[in-house]
Amino acid sequence: FQMDTTPESYLDLFPLDAIVYLTPDSENVLEDIDPDKVYVLGGLVDESIHKQLTLQRAREQCLQTARLPIREYMVKAPNSRNYHSETLAINQVFDILCTYYETRSWPVALKAGVSSGKGFVLREGVEQ
């Protein structure tokens, strides 16, 4: 992948209506990747302290939001810690988006990108 870095804000580089801020707290499900949109991947260290921070930031900036379709294709797996989290690291989100773009399959992308430590597994019967 080719990357450019800049000290400028994405708000200064792209039209607001082209930006989609990805946040696990969005009500909107990302159903497909639109090549005319710019997707912002945020990064937070502690998901419990910063609950809904990315959603709040996107709303303050009047941006569209979306979340990965984890709830639509995955279920909470029984585990001894009873830990389930839809908050992913930036590299996981990036890998999921790349895999989806290549395969056009959310089950394939989510299975590859959501680690078992997050407490989710693909729903039974979901086609890959």
Query: Closest by alpha carbon to 70, among 54, 92, 51, 38?
Result: 92
> Residue 57 sits in which domain range?
10-122
Residue 10 corresponds to which tokens in the numbers above? Answer: 């994405």
CATH (domain of 57): 3.40.1280.30
Q: What is the reported pTM?
A: 0.85
Give me the pLDDT at residue 126, please.
Answer: 62
Provide CB contacts within 8 A for 19, sequence distance 6+: 10, 11, 37, 38, 40, 63, 64
Nearest 5°: the CA angle 108, 48, 76 is 35
Residue 87 corresponds to which tokens in the numbers above? Answer: 């908050």
Report the domain count for the chain: 1
Q: What is the pLDDT of residues 19-69, one digit of tens each?
A: 999 998 899 999 999 999 999 987 554 455 567 888 888 999 999 999 999
Average pLDDT, the chain: 87
* 2, part of any domain: no
Give me the pLDDT at residue 61, please.
Answer: 93
- Look up residue 88 and give its amino acid: L
* 5, part of any domain: no
Q: Which of 5-19, 44-58, 102-116 has the lowest mean pLDDT?
A: 44-58
State mean pLDDT over 3-13. 90
State mean pLDDT over 79-106. 87
Give me the pLDDT at residue 37, please.
Answer: 96
95 given a catalytic annotation: no
- Find where tokens 């395969």 sit: 103
Give me the pLDDT at residue 96, please.
Answer: 96
- The residue from 12, 36, 46, 95 that is catalytic is 46
